Structure 1
Amino acid sequence: MSYLTLDEYQRKWIFTHQSMPAPEEELKAIKPMTQARSSQLWQENISAQSPDVDRLSSSDWPMNESNWKETIDWMAAWESDDESLPEEILAFIDWQDDVTVYFCYEKYNVIETKWSTFKRCWKNFLFYDDGPILIGRRRNEALWFDGNGNVRLGSRK
């Protein structure tokens, strides 16, 4: 099995927190991966050696500055009453709603969902903002969020 149930997921609280619970229909589309599947996806798409973003090596694509086009503030939008992702992200990521995305917290903690679900629940995903990277299946564009409220817009190469 490649997925955990949301009840088995150690950070389920980010989707059920009383201040910002994700809608029930969205919870069905949020699929935490098992540690083994997370590790495989991380090694194939983020880093073959490093277990988290703090220890990425210079040979890992996220560390190549030329892969990043722009850095914007996400924190102001997160703290606002507006539920939408920042406009700059929506302009940069022009994916269909059914594109499968992977929100990669670290090597053993990856969540699979659809772009539409991420767009609606992005604030929940970022309750835990310790450097996660969002990538799409068979897509080059990537987002790298940091705990200081910034997100880098770029592409995997």
Structure 2
Amino acid sequence: MSLIVWIAIRIKGIDDLLHYMDDMFRYEMDPQLEFYSLYNKYYPKKQVTLLQLWDDIGLPHDVRKQEFGQSLIVIGFHIDPRCMTISIPQSAHQELVDMITAFIDSSADHQRPLKKWQQLLSWANWALNIFPLLRPTLQSSYDKILSGWPHM
């Protein structure tokens, strides 16, 4: 992927191109829209240039990943640079609350399998990416998992 990013920046002139794993992204203050015929949509000109590069080298891409706008959902977080906020979409927030509620419901059984603990901690860890100062609150739960439960 690094070679493709290098080509996009150095050869195609897509400045300010950033990437994370296999995702590429950038910002534009005042984008000029251009028609991309494969998706039958208008995108910022440099995004179309990148899509055409991918077409030229045979790199597959998907329309659902081709987003642009004043605010976006990125790895599950709502990013709004105008308001300078990062938040969890309401639906994901409610799903997390529902999972925690079901997890702590002791009406049937007080024990939870290790896998359920790991799932809950993983989801909570993801949610706390936007509240990094709260992450240490998960430490005692991780300690409990690593303390030698027989389920491991």
TM-score, length-scaled by structure 1: 0.22
Higher strand proportion: 1
- Rg: which structure is higher? 2
TM-score, length-scaled by structure 2: 0.22
Higher helix proportion: 2
